[in-house]
Amino acid sequence: MKSLPIYLDYAATTPCSHSVLDAMLPYFTEFYGNPHSLHAFGFNALKALTKARDEVAGLIKADPEEIVFTSGSTESSKIAIERAAIFLSATGRKKFITTESEHKSVLDCADSLKSRGIDVSYLKVKNDGLVDFEHLDSILDASVGLLSICMINNETGVRQDIKRIVELCRMNGVLLHADATQAFGKISLDVRDLGIDFLSASAHKVYGPKGVGILFFKKTNKKLLRIPMANRDVESGIRAGTVPVTLCVGMGKAAEIAGSEMGNDLARISKLKTLLIKSLSHSLDEIYINGSVESNYPGIVNISFRGCEGEALMMECKRIAVSSGSACTSNRLSISHVLNGMGIPPDIAQSSIRISIGKPTTESDILIAIEDLIAATTKLRQMSPIWDMIKAGMDIGSIFEGKHCDYAV
């Protein structure tokens, strides 16, 4: 059997931890009751569900009653954004704000709101991916009901100053939804201290099972989210259907482990990122780190290798599994909407890949990645007429005009 490449795509998903799997297994075959059944099987399931909710709430310093289990961040974001924005529009706050560099799931919500007559505005980000606070201050007013922002960008790892954003929102009576998909379990989160109104997260980004996530909501905002005529005994009347206890147990265990290992993980991943960037910068010219150097999560590194096409570079590196920041179509040059929104020059944006480091990543893995990336870049540049034009000092911007996509996941 052919051996698999080294996995360096942990921002996309993570393997389920063995400890998480062990915690889940009894709830597949032994404690399989419905948590709302009034017998011993139901009581055991409810006890497990309550524990899982407590564990997740503890990780973000929330009240367990403010946690609703969902199928993942996408559903959580859709519930929070669409229901809250529509409710608030009836009070006169008819505007929704997000950024052009959000995840596709949030941008899809924005499109859905537009179709329902809600005014959508896109907040500018600077070249480093951080929010333009002057622009934010200029567009926040009494007409805005909700702002949605990604805490840590899934493509670049840029970490927004959520507390400062919340402060500006509060001055204008605006609610804030935080997409914490890449932040949950990776950095310390305190929803009380930050002042967040809604927060979305998924288990599979933190070594939990796929198919489960959470939506945090302030108790005072519950009325904005409830389904009319829903059973309020099931997930606060916010999400219908039988709760997947087994998956919730897995997310609770993943949250517990993340809380205990977060500090050590951050320190180790930071060292591996430093090794990666220093080694590549020493061996190759015309490489660029996309996103803020000062405010980022070290486990996500977006690098452009000018003169190389992102997908070609990704495929040339046979021993590592990474993602292309410009993956949109396979038959033409394309640019990530995230990098495009940051104003990254097209030829640099088009040559980007995302490397994401996780718990299992070793120094040996990074050294192999460095070898492959150097060799692949050197080979592709030798064959690239664009690289020859760059070295000759020619303006190649026109080659990439109009070559972009709306979204890149």
CATH 3.90.1150.10 in the chain is located at: 262-400
Round to whole Å and give the CA distance between 186 and 206. Answer: 8
- Tell me what percent of the residues of the chain surpass a pLDDT of 90: 76
Written as six digits, the tokens of 315 are 């495929």
Whether 302 contacts 156, CB under 8 Å: yes
349-400 confidence digits (pLDDT tens): 989 999 999 999 999 999 999 999 999 999 999 988 877 788 877 776 666 5
In the 8-state DSSP scheme, what is residue 400?
G
Burial of residue 70, with CB atoms counted within 10 A of its CB: 0-12 exposed, 13-18 middle, 19 or more buried:
buried
CA dihedral 227, 72, 56, 254 (to 10 degrees): 160
pTM of the full structure: 0.91
Q: CATH for 262-400, among 3.60.15.10, 3.90.1150.10, 3.30.413.10, 3.30.470.10? A: 3.90.1150.10
Burial of residue 24, with CB atoms counted within 10 A of its CB: 0-12 exposed, 13-18 middle, 19 or more buried:
buried
Whether 178 contacts 62, CB under 8 Å: no
Mean pLDDT, each 10-residue run in order, the chain (409 residues)? 87 97 96 89 93 98 96 95 91 93 92 92 95 95 95 96 96 96 97 97 98 95 76 72 94 98 96 98 95 96 93 93 62 73 90 96 98 96 82 68 40
95-140 confidence digits (pLDDT tens): 999 998 999 999 999 999 999 989 999 999 999 999 999 999 999 9
CATH code 3.30.160.40 for 18-258: no
Round to whole Å and give the CA distance between 89 and 156. Answer: 32
Give just the sign of the alpha carbon dihedral 105, 107, 108, 112: positive
Tell me the residue type at 105.
S
Active site residues: 328
CATH 3.40.640.10 in the chain is located at: 18-258
